[in-house]
Amino acid sequence: MTDQAAATDQAAAVGGKPIPKTKVDAFLRTVPVAPRRGTAGPGTPAPADAHDEALSARAERQRRRWATQVVVADELARRACEERGLAPPPEASPTGILAIAGTDVADLGSIIAAALAHSPAARLLLAELEKEQEVPETAVRDYYDRNRDRFLTADALRRGVDPFGRPAPDDLLPYDQVRDAVTRGLRQAAGHRAFFDWFDQARAGVVYAAGHEHPGDPTHPDHEHRH
């Protein structure tokens, strides 16, 4: 739920605690700006028409809203760690260029991926949530049976064996050999889902200042929501 925060110098309020705009600004300085369409090279903007300028302004507004979500996630994660009695993690660093793997963005979404890259508290909470996930043996075996293409031996891959046909037993890595890795992968995936659920619930009561709403919030005119 988003409403306009009362103070003009805050981007949001989490449980009554203000998140200052300066904190969002500091985080934004760690995120590389995507080059504007039509630039002649790094740091060399080409002449832009009014349409380009409008698109650039819209992109910057969305970038600020996105950054606010990341900073809010850090504060929410710190509170969650404290509630769980976990050792206080270090503060998120406002310096350095934030590096996020493209695969993480694809798997987690840009806000969650950035929050985990930026916030030690978010990483600690995710690790704790992963530990709590129970992965039944039946789920591990089912994953192995349904994803045989992932368990072909190197020789079988070279020979182009069809994993969903009738591969010989020697063409597949034995279940006992891959069981622990599959369990870790399923536990990690379950931990990510638990983290998504936690974040959705935890941010429900956050109050945002105008211009800092969630990028997908339909109550602001240039919202953007992509799946």
pLDDT at 36: 47
List the domain boundaries for the chain.
Answer: 1-36+50-133+196-227, 137-182
Q: Is the pTM of this model over 0.85?
A: no
Range 84-113 average pLDDT = 86
β-sheet with 10-14: strand ranges across: 17-20, 10-14, 207-208
For residue 167, what are the contacts with CB-CB under 8 A and spacing of at least 6?
148, 152, 156, 161
pLDDT for residue 93? 76
Q: Which pLDDT band holds residue 89 (cuts at 50, 70, 90)? A: confident
How confident is the model over 160-198, as pLDDT tens digits? 999 888 889 899 999 999 999 999 999 999 999 999 999
Residue 4 clears pLDDT 60, i.e. is over it: no
| Residue 61 in tokens | 């507004």
pLDDT band at 221 (very low <50, low <70, confident <90, very high): low
Asked if residues 117 and 99 have their Cβ atoms less than 8 Å apart, the reply is yes
For the residues of 66-128, what is the DSSP string, one character each?
A: HHHHHHHHHHHHHHHHHHTTPPPPPPPP--S-----HHHHHHH-HHHHHHHHH-HHHHHHHHH
Taking residues 197-202, what's their average pLDDT? 96
Q: What is the mean pLDDT of the chain?
A: 85
What is the structure's pLDDT at 3?
Answer: 46
Smallest Cα–Cα separation from 114: which of 27, 47, 199? 27
Give tens-digit pLDDT for 13-43: 999 899 999 999 999 998 877 644 443 333 4
> In which band, very low, low, confident or very high, does the pLDDT at 227 lie, cut at 50, 70 and 90?
very low
